[in-house]
Copies of this chain bind each other. A is one copy, B any other.
Amino acid sequence: MNPHLYAVILAGGSGTRFWPLSRHLYPKQLLRIIGDETLIQQTMRRVLRSVPAGRVLISTNPAQADSIRVQLGEWKEDLAGNFVIEPEARNTAPALALAAEALVKRDPDALMLVLPADHVIKREGRFRAAVALGADLAAAGHLVTFGVKPIRAETGYGYIQPHLRKRLAARGGLVGHPVARFVEKPDTDTALKYLKAGTYYWNSGIFMWRAAMFLEEVALHQPALAKGMKAIRRLLGEPGTQDKVSLAYKNLPSISVDYGVMECSSRAAMIPADFHWSDVGNWSSLEEVAPRNGSGNVVSGKVVDLGSRDSILYADQRLVATIGLSDMVVVDTPDATLICPKDRSQDVKKIVEVLRRQGAPEHLEHRTMFRPWGSYTVLEEGSGYKVKRVTVNPGRRLSLQLHHQRSEHWVVITGTARVTCGERVYDLTVGQSTAIPKETAHRLENPGKEMLHIIEVQNGPYLGEDDIVRLQDDYGRVEK
């Protein structure tokens, strides 16, 4: 492996297009959409064939960092210092500039492979071949894109036309070319023309470059961004400047790397890649990556169907019964169900927008929330009470905390709970329960080797997650 090769996984998606499975706080990359692992877990494993875990950076935002740490827990030690957390989403150019700054500081010769966390790639050997050629081109000073052969007249992607007759380098059956031009999201007629011409490629959103070279190109084409980054770099060295860094970052121009850097750069190169790629951009694209049954349906979960065809029937624990559907998408989750024709899948984001404006919780989060110590699922909420199932992983514990406005009752349903309540510490086993009065410091811990599940009943006039005063926490979540 090239010792200067690093990977940056872009994991800051907002999760509107896979609603209701994805939520604002639980975007597509965190979902088990196809296969046994989530998309970010699959992306991590893919990267590890080319780069060791200690050289993988995760670019994300504060809201998602916890969930990502949990999902990538297998590489916890390697990734410990590798999270690059944007104070606020400012699109990909600032996110990648921040990551590049971090890399240059670590290794001035760093090569930077950039991959979105939520794509599906098959034929991984060909992916590694493309990365190997990309490293050559990046080392030679190019900003490398990976082009994918179009298979339909898609209007939602960017297209790249390479100078196919100019060859920059070749390796492993692949050739790199300079980029002739980029075209962002063409209309249908143009997309059809490109598809027929056979000389245009989809921009896969995967990139490779020397980190230092990328920052030079940012300085050249996005001076405002470069200036803001310079200020941030200075602040990062000083103690107690976190708020100033956040503010400076929030003032950066919000611009994509495609539009802000790649389309302007004379150093852009493209490798026509031959791996199988999908950005699984909406529900209908699931057909490209998931197996279909004999009737052409992609079926998942507890579905009873009579005679549907060419449909996506995506359920989980609840029962979904379908009769005679054609080219439809049905997605069921514990608190929300979506039904639309496949060709309206793009409009799911409009539903999310409606929900956001209504302040409906279903756009924001799931009934199940993941935490560093385990997870909880809200079973029911009503006036003055909330019922949760809380899962604590073996050896983990929640923070020592208290609530001003609620009392809690815990009943153990699996495993052993070690309870701290005020001055007392005691263990509860299956079928035992305890009451935690309000204003009392308490802690829930799983001292055992099996999972701990409890049912928690909260009572009080206000039951928001922000009525938690953390006194001690294993995961650094104590407010100062």
Contacts and interface: CB of A to CB of B under 8 A. Distances in A.
A389 interface: yes
A440 interface: no
Contact of A319 (B328, B335, B379, B380): B335
Given A20-B321, A336-B318, A455 B387 contact: yes
Nearest to A346: B323
A285 interface: no
Contacts of A318: 335-337
Contact of A344 (B19, B323, B347, B407): B323
Interface string A428-472: 001111010000000000000000010101011000000000000
A341 B321 contact: no
B335 A322 contact: no
Contacts of A325: 339-341
Contacts of A304: 351, 354-355
Contacts of A407: 431
Q: For chain A, what secondary structure do more than half of its interface residues adopt (helix, strand, loop), or is it mixed? A: strand
List 9 tightest A-B contacts by C-beta distance, closest first.
A323-B340, A431-B459, A385-B413, A319-B336, A411-B457, A379-B379, A321-B351, A324-B344, A323-B344
B413 A306 contact: no
Number of copies: 2
Interface string A308-326: 0000000000111111110
Interface of A: 19-20, 304, 306, 318-325, 328, 330, 332, 335-341, 344, 347-348, 350-351, 354-355, 360, 362, 379-380, 382-385, 387, 389, 407, 409, 411, 413-414, 430-433, 435, 453, 455, 457, 459-460
Contacts of A350: 306, 323
A339 B322 contact: yes
A394 B457 CA distance: 23
Given A324-B340, A337-B337, A457-B455, A362 B413 contact: no
A20 B304 CA distance: 13
Contacts of A430: 384, 459
A254 B457 CA distance: 50
21 contacts: A19-B321, A20-B319, A304-B354, A306-B347, A306-B350, A306-B354, A319-B362, A322-B338, A322-B339, A323-B344, A323-B350, A324-B340, A325-B339, A330-B339, A379-B387, A384-B413, A387-B387, A407-B431, A433-B433, A455-B455, A455-B457
A324 B348 CA distance: 11
Given A332-B337, A347-B324, A319 B411 contact: no
A414 B347 contact: no
B335 A321 contact: no
B355 A339 contact: no
A214 to B, nearest CB: 40
